[in-house]
Chains A and B, each alone.
Chain A
Amino acid sequence: MPANDGSLLEPLVSKLSKLAELSATDREAILSLPYTTEEVRAGRCLIRERSNPGRCCLLLRGFACRSKMSANGGRQIVSFHLQGDLLDVQHLLLRVADHNVETITDVKVAWIAKDDLSRLAFEHPDIGRALWRDTLIDASIFREWVLNVGRRDAKVRIAHMLCEFAARCVAAGLGSAERFELPMTQEQIGDATGLTPVHVNRMLRVLGEDGVIARAGRTIKIADWERMRQVADFDATYLHAVA
Protein backbone atom coordinates (compact mmCIF):
# COMPACT_ATOMS: atom_id res chain seq x y z
CA MET A 1 0.00 0.00 0.00
CA PRO A 2 1.58 3.35 -0.98
CA ALA A 3 2.11 6.10 1.56
CA ASN A 4 -0.86 8.44 1.55
CA ASP A 5 -1.56 12.02 2.34
CA GLY A 6 -3.55 11.33 5.50
CA SER A 7 -5.24 14.71 5.42
CA LEU A 8 -7.70 13.29 2.88
CA LEU A 9 -9.12 11.27 5.77
CA GLU A 10 -9.99 14.44 7.74
CA PRO A 11 -13.71 14.03 6.97
CA LEU A 12 -13.58 10.67 8.75
CA VAL A 13 -11.80 12.21 11.77
CA SER A 14 -14.36 14.97 11.85
CA LYS A 15 -17.27 12.52 11.63
CA LEU A 16 -15.93 10.12 14.29
CA SER A 17 -15.05 13.04 16.60
CA LYS A 18 -18.73 13.86 16.77
CA LEU A 19 -19.52 10.29 17.77
CA ALA A 20 -16.97 9.84 20.57
CA GLU A 21 -14.30 11.73 22.45
CA LEU A 22 -11.14 11.06 20.44
CA SER A 23 -7.61 11.67 21.73
CA ALA A 24 -4.80 13.13 19.65
CA THR A 25 -3.43 9.58 19.35
CA ASP A 26 -6.80 8.35 18.05
CA ARG A 27 -6.89 11.11 15.45
CA GLU A 28 -3.33 10.39 14.40
CA ALA A 29 -4.17 6.69 14.06
CA ILE A 30 -7.12 7.44 11.78
CA LEU A 31 -5.07 9.78 9.60
CA SER A 32 -2.33 7.20 9.19
CA LEU A 33 -4.69 4.51 7.88
CA PRO A 34 -3.58 3.21 4.49
CA TYR A 35 -6.14 3.84 1.75
CA THR A 36 -6.57 4.18 -1.97
CA THR A 37 -8.77 6.79 -3.61
CA GLU A 38 -11.04 6.42 -6.60
CA GLU A 39 -13.18 8.83 -8.58
CA VAL A 40 -16.44 7.24 -9.68
CA ARG A 41 -19.08 8.65 -12.03
CA ALA A 42 -22.71 9.18 -11.11
CA GLY A 43 -25.04 6.20 -11.35
CA ARG A 44 -22.41 3.52 -10.74
CA CYS A 45 -22.38 0.71 -8.24
CA LEU A 46 -19.70 1.03 -5.52
CA ILE A 47 -20.61 -2.13 -3.65
CA ARG A 48 -22.75 -4.87 -5.12
CA GLU A 49 -25.23 -6.97 -3.18
CA ARG A 50 -23.91 -10.50 -2.47
CA SER A 51 -20.31 -9.44 -3.08
CA ASN A 52 -17.70 -10.03 -0.44
CA PRO A 53 -16.01 -6.67 0.12
CA GLY A 54 -12.57 -6.80 1.68
CA ARG A 55 -12.53 -3.06 2.11
CA CYS A 56 -14.70 -0.27 3.44
CA CYS A 57 -15.76 2.74 1.45
CA LEU A 58 -15.44 6.29 2.81
CA LEU A 59 -17.24 8.97 0.82
CA LEU A 60 -14.91 11.97 0.42
CA ARG A 61 -16.96 14.03 -2.02
CA GLY A 62 -20.37 13.76 -3.65
CA PHE A 63 -23.50 11.79 -2.82
CA ALA A 64 -24.37 8.10 -2.69
CA CYS A 65 -27.19 5.84 -1.58
CA ARG A 66 -27.80 2.34 -0.33
CA SER A 67 -30.48 0.36 -2.12
CA LYS A 68 -32.09 -3.03 -2.50
CA MET A 69 -33.97 -4.53 -5.45
CA SER A 70 -37.14 -6.57 -5.40
CA ALA A 71 -37.52 -9.56 -7.73
CA ASN A 72 -39.81 -7.54 -10.04
CA GLY A 73 -37.10 -4.94 -10.60
CA GLY A 74 -38.34 -2.31 -8.14
CA ARG A 75 -35.57 -0.43 -6.40
CA GLN A 76 -35.90 0.80 -2.84
CA ILE A 77 -33.32 3.36 -1.76
CA VAL A 78 -32.84 2.83 1.98
CA SER A 79 -30.54 5.76 2.80
CA PHE A 80 -28.71 8.72 1.30
CA HIS A 81 -25.08 9.47 2.08
CA LEU A 82 -22.80 12.46 1.92
CA GLN A 83 -19.16 13.32 2.48
CA GLY A 84 -17.56 11.87 5.58
CA ASP A 85 -19.95 8.87 5.64
CA LEU A 86 -18.60 5.34 5.82
CA LEU A 87 -20.83 3.52 3.38
CA ASP A 88 -20.45 -0.03 4.59
CA VAL A 89 -18.91 -0.15 8.03
CA GLN A 90 -20.97 -3.30 8.64
CA HIS A 91 -18.49 -5.19 6.48
CA LEU A 92 -15.99 -5.03 9.32
CA LEU A 93 -18.05 -7.81 10.87
CA LEU A 94 -20.43 -9.08 8.18
CA ARG A 95 -18.92 -10.96 5.27
CA VAL A 96 -21.46 -10.57 2.49
CA ALA A 97 -22.99 -7.31 1.24
CA ASP A 98 -26.78 -7.48 1.73
CA HIS A 99 -27.51 -4.38 -0.37
CA ASN A 100 -26.05 -2.21 -3.11
CA VAL A 101 -24.22 1.08 -2.64
CA GLU A 102 -24.61 3.38 -5.64
CA THR A 103 -23.37 6.83 -6.57
CA ILE A 104 -25.90 9.63 -7.04
CA THR A 105 -23.40 12.21 -8.28
CA ASP A 106 -19.79 11.91 -9.41
CA VAL A 107 -17.95 10.99 -6.22
CA LYS A 108 -14.49 10.60 -4.77
CA VAL A 109 -14.10 7.75 -2.32
CA ALA A 110 -11.32 6.31 -0.18
CA TRP A 111 -11.13 2.53 0.14
CA ILE A 112 -9.78 1.29 3.46
CA ALA A 113 -8.94 -2.39 3.99
CA LYS A 114 -11.41 -3.81 6.47
CA ASP A 115 -8.62 -5.51 8.44
CA ASP A 116 -6.94 -2.12 8.94
CA LEU A 117 -10.17 -0.44 10.03
CA SER A 118 -11.07 -3.36 12.23
CA ARG A 119 -7.66 -3.31 13.94
CA LEU A 120 -8.00 0.44 14.47
CA ALA A 121 -11.39 -0.06 16.14
CA PHE A 122 -10.13 -2.77 18.49
CA GLU A 123 -6.84 -1.07 19.36
CA HIS A 124 -8.48 2.33 19.98
CA PRO A 125 -11.64 1.73 22.00
CA ASP A 126 -12.97 5.27 21.50
CA ILE A 127 -12.72 4.85 17.72
CA GLY A 128 -14.47 1.49 18.12
CA ARG A 129 -17.18 3.19 20.16
CA ALA A 130 -17.57 5.91 17.50
CA LEU A 131 -17.94 3.30 14.73
CA TRP A 132 -20.44 1.37 16.84
CA ARG A 133 -22.49 4.51 17.42
CA ASP A 134 -22.31 5.25 13.70
CA THR A 135 -23.92 1.91 12.86
CA LEU A 136 -26.55 2.44 15.59
CA ILE A 137 -27.47 5.81 14.14
CA ASP A 138 -27.65 4.22 10.67
CA ALA A 139 -30.15 1.77 12.14
CA SER A 140 -32.11 4.60 13.72
CA ILE A 141 -32.33 6.32 10.33
CA PHE A 142 -33.54 3.07 8.72
CA ARG A 143 -36.28 2.81 11.39
CA GLU A 144 -37.39 6.34 10.62
CA TRP A 145 -37.47 5.51 6.90
CA VAL A 146 -39.67 2.46 7.55
CA LEU A 147 -42.09 4.76 9.34
CA ASN A 148 -41.81 7.28 6.52
CA VAL A 149 -42.55 4.84 3.70
CA GLY A 150 -45.04 2.77 5.66
CA ARG A 151 -47.18 5.32 7.45
CA ARG A 152 -46.81 8.83 6.07
CA ASP A 153 -48.68 10.14 3.05
CA ALA A 154 -46.82 11.20 -0.09
CA LYS A 155 -46.46 14.89 0.75
CA VAL A 156 -45.23 14.27 4.31
CA ARG A 157 -42.83 11.56 3.11
CA ILE A 158 -41.13 13.92 0.70
CA ALA A 159 -41.11 16.81 3.15
CA HIS A 160 -39.55 14.51 5.75
CA MET A 161 -36.89 13.31 3.33
CA LEU A 162 -36.03 16.94 2.52
CA CYS A 163 -35.76 17.84 6.21
CA GLU A 164 -33.46 14.92 6.93
CA PHE A 165 -31.31 15.70 3.92
CA ALA A 166 -31.05 19.38 4.94
CA ALA A 167 -30.14 18.47 8.53
CA ARG A 168 -27.45 16.08 7.36
CA CYS A 169 -26.02 18.56 4.83
CA VAL A 170 -25.70 21.12 7.62
CA ALA A 171 -24.02 18.54 9.89
CA ALA A 172 -21.55 17.73 7.09
CA GLY A 173 -20.81 21.41 6.48
CA LEU A 174 -22.62 21.53 3.13
CA GLY A 175 -24.99 24.45 2.76
CA SER A 176 -27.50 25.78 5.25
CA ALA A 177 -30.84 24.40 6.38
CA GLU A 178 -32.52 27.36 4.68
CA ARG A 179 -30.88 26.76 1.29
CA PHE A 180 -29.28 23.59 -0.04
CA GLU A 181 -28.71 21.70 -3.27
CA LEU A 182 -30.71 18.56 -3.86
CA PRO A 183 -28.53 16.19 -5.91
CA MET A 184 -31.19 13.48 -6.38
CA THR A 185 -33.41 13.11 -9.43
CA GLN A 186 -37.18 12.80 -9.01
CA GLU A 187 -36.75 9.15 -9.86
CA GLN A 188 -34.28 8.67 -6.99
CA ILE A 189 -36.51 10.59 -4.56
CA GLY A 190 -39.32 8.31 -5.73
CA ASP A 191 -37.22 5.20 -5.07
CA ALA A 192 -36.45 6.53 -1.58
CA THR A 193 -40.08 7.28 -0.76
CA GLY A 194 -41.88 4.49 -2.63
CA LEU A 195 -43.50 6.89 -5.11
CA THR A 196 -43.46 7.33 -8.89
CA PRO A 197 -41.37 10.24 -10.23
CA VAL A 198 -44.55 11.99 -11.48
CA HIS A 199 -46.01 11.79 -8.00
CA VAL A 200 -42.78 13.17 -6.53
CA ASN A 201 -42.90 16.10 -8.94
CA ARG A 202 -46.54 16.72 -7.98
CA MET A 203 -45.81 16.66 -4.25
CA LEU A 204 -42.82 19.00 -4.64
CA ARG A 205 -45.20 21.37 -6.41
CA VAL A 206 -47.74 21.04 -3.58
CA LEU A 207 -45.03 21.83 -1.01
CA GLY A 208 -44.14 24.86 -3.13
CA GLU A 209 -47.78 25.96 -3.38
CA ASP A 210 -48.14 25.53 0.38
CA GLY A 211 -45.25 27.95 0.69
CA VAL A 212 -43.04 25.63 2.77
CA ILE A 213 -40.35 25.22 0.11
CA ALA A 214 -39.18 27.26 -2.87
CA ARG A 215 -37.40 25.52 -5.75
CA ALA A 216 -35.02 26.97 -8.31
CA GLY A 217 -33.61 24.09 -10.35
CA ARG A 218 -31.99 21.75 -7.83
CA THR A 219 -31.80 24.43 -5.13
CA ILE A 220 -34.30 24.09 -2.31
CA LYS A 221 -35.09 27.00 -0.01
CA ILE A 222 -36.92 26.54 3.25
CA ALA A 223 -37.86 29.91 4.63
CA ASP A 224 -39.85 28.83 7.68
CA TRP A 225 -38.23 25.80 9.30
CA GLU A 226 -40.71 25.55 12.14
CA ARG A 227 -43.55 25.23 9.65
CA MET A 228 -41.57 22.80 7.48
CA ARG A 229 -40.88 20.62 10.54
CA GLN A 230 -44.60 20.49 11.27
CA VAL A 231 -45.60 19.71 7.69
CA ALA A 232 -42.89 17.03 7.52
CA ASP A 233 -43.57 15.43 10.92
CA PHE A 234 -39.82 15.87 11.40
CA ASP A 235 -38.22 15.45 14.82
CA ALA A 236 -34.42 15.27 14.53
CA THR A 237 -34.03 13.17 17.69
CA TYR A 238 -33.48 10.02 15.61
CA LEU A 239 -30.38 11.59 14.01
CA HIS A 240 -28.81 11.79 17.47
CA ALA A 241 -27.36 15.20 16.67
CA VAL A 242 -24.43 13.90 14.65
CA ALA A 243 -25.52 12.23 11.44
Chain B
Amino acid sequence: MPRYFFHLYDDIVLHDEEGIELPDLAAARDEAVRAARELACQEVRNGKLSLHHRIEVEDEQNRPVLTLPFKAAFGVEDKSAG
Protein backbone atom coordinates (compact mmCIF):
# COMPACT_ATOMS: atom_id res chain seq x y z
CA MET B 1 0.00 0.00 0.00
CA PRO B 2 1.25 3.53 -0.71
CA ARG B 3 2.25 5.73 2.19
CA TYR B 4 0.82 9.22 2.60
CA PHE B 5 2.22 11.98 4.79
CA PHE B 6 -0.13 14.38 6.58
CA HIS B 7 1.45 17.77 7.28
CA LEU B 8 -0.54 20.03 9.55
CA TYR B 9 -0.59 23.79 9.13
CA ASP B 10 -2.20 25.33 12.18
CA ASP B 11 -0.44 27.85 14.43
CA ILE B 12 2.76 26.05 13.48
CA VAL B 13 3.83 23.79 10.61
CA LEU B 14 3.90 20.19 11.80
CA HIS B 15 5.72 17.86 9.45
CA ASP B 16 4.64 14.22 9.40
CA GLU B 17 7.80 12.11 9.33
CA GLU B 18 6.05 8.76 9.60
CA GLY B 19 3.12 8.71 7.25
CA ILE B 20 0.31 6.18 7.08
CA GLU B 21 -0.14 3.30 4.64
CA LEU B 22 -3.48 3.67 2.89
CA PRO B 23 -5.01 1.99 -0.17
CA ASP B 24 -5.42 5.12 -2.32
CA LEU B 25 -5.87 8.88 -2.47
CA ALA B 26 -9.56 8.62 -1.56
CA ALA B 27 -8.60 6.86 1.66
CA ALA B 28 -5.95 9.54 2.29
CA ARG B 29 -8.62 12.20 1.88
CA ASP B 30 -10.88 10.37 4.35
CA GLU B 31 -8.00 10.24 6.81
CA ALA B 32 -7.31 13.97 6.39
CA VAL B 33 -11.01 14.78 6.91
CA ARG B 34 -11.12 12.59 10.01
CA ALA B 35 -8.04 14.36 11.43
CA ALA B 36 -9.31 17.86 10.58
CA ARG B 37 -12.69 17.17 12.20
CA GLU B 38 -11.04 15.78 15.32
CA LEU B 39 -8.62 18.70 15.64
CA ALA B 40 -11.50 21.15 15.09
CA CYS B 41 -13.50 19.39 17.84
CA GLN B 42 -10.54 19.79 20.16
CA GLU B 43 -10.40 23.49 19.31
CA VAL B 44 -14.10 23.95 19.97
CA ARG B 45 -13.66 22.22 23.33
CA ASN B 46 -10.86 24.65 24.13
CA GLY B 47 -13.08 27.59 23.13
CA LYS B 48 -11.64 28.77 19.80
CA LEU B 49 -12.06 27.36 16.29
CA SER B 50 -9.70 28.44 13.50
CA LEU B 51 -11.13 27.65 10.08
CA HIS B 52 -7.98 28.65 8.17
CA HIS B 53 -5.94 25.68 9.42
CA ARG B 54 -5.21 23.05 6.81
CA ILE B 55 -3.72 19.63 6.19
CA GLU B 56 -1.45 19.04 3.21
CA VAL B 57 -1.00 15.47 2.08
CA GLU B 58 2.09 14.26 0.23
CA ASP B 59 2.85 10.91 -1.36
CA GLU B 60 6.04 8.88 -0.96
CA GLN B 61 7.84 11.01 -3.55
CA ASN B 62 7.07 14.15 -1.51
CA ARG B 63 4.59 15.26 -4.16
CA PRO B 64 1.65 17.25 -2.82
CA VAL B 65 -1.49 15.29 -3.63
CA LEU B 66 -4.14 17.03 -1.57
CA THR B 67 -4.78 20.20 0.42
CA LEU B 68 -7.62 20.12 2.89
CA PRO B 69 -8.60 23.41 4.54
CA PHE B 70 -10.39 22.66 7.81
CA LYS B 71 -13.45 24.54 6.58
CA ALA B 72 -13.79 22.00 3.76
CA ALA B 73 -13.86 19.15 6.27
CA PHE B 74 -17.23 20.02 7.78
CA GLY B 75 -20.24 22.25 7.23
CA VAL B 76 -21.10 25.27 9.35
CA GLU B 77 -24.73 26.34 9.51
CA ASP B 78 -26.04 29.42 11.22
CA LYS B 79 -29.77 30.13 10.87
CA SER B 80 -29.87 32.70 13.64
CA ALA B 81 -31.12 36.15 12.66
CA GLY B 82 -28.61 38.74 11.39
User: Measuring CB to CB, which residues of chain A are less than 8 angstroms from any residue of chain B?
Assistant: 153-154, 185-187, 195-199, 201-202, 205
> In the assembled complex, which residues on chain B have CB atoms less than 8 Å from the CB atom of A195?
38
- Residue B12 CB within 8 A of the other chain: yes
Inter-chain pairs besides A198-B39, A202-B14, A202-B39, 8 sampled, C-beta below 8 Å = A153-B45, A187-B20, A196-B38, A197-B31, A198-B8, A198-B38, A201-B18, A205-B14
Are B35 and A198 closer than 8 Å at their CB atoms?
Answer: yes
- Complex-state Cα separation, A205 to B13, whole angstroms: 10
Looking across the interface, which residue of chain A has its beta carbon closest to that of B55? Answer: A198
When the two chains form their complex, are residues B20 and A205 in contact, meaning their CB atoms are under 8 A apart?
A: no
B45 touching A197 by the CB < 8 A rule?
A: no
Beta-carbon contact of B42 and A197 below 8 Å:
no
Give chain A residues whose Cβ lies under 8 Å from the Cβ of B34.
196
Q: Is B24 an interface residue (CB 8 A)?
A: no
In the complex, what's the smallest C-beta–C-beta distance from A189 to chain B, in angstroms? 10
For the A-B complex, the count of residue pairs with Cβ-Cβ distances under 8 Å equals 44
Interface of A is mostly: helix
Say yes or no: A154 contacts B42, CB within 8 Å: yes
Min Cβ gap B19→A in Å is 9
| Complex: chain A residue closest to B36, CB-CB | A198
Quick one: which of B3-19 are within 8 Å of A by CB? 6, 8, 10, 12, 14, 16, 18
**A185-B18 in contact (CB<8A):** yes
Report chain B residues within 8 Å CB of A196: 31, 34-35, 38-39
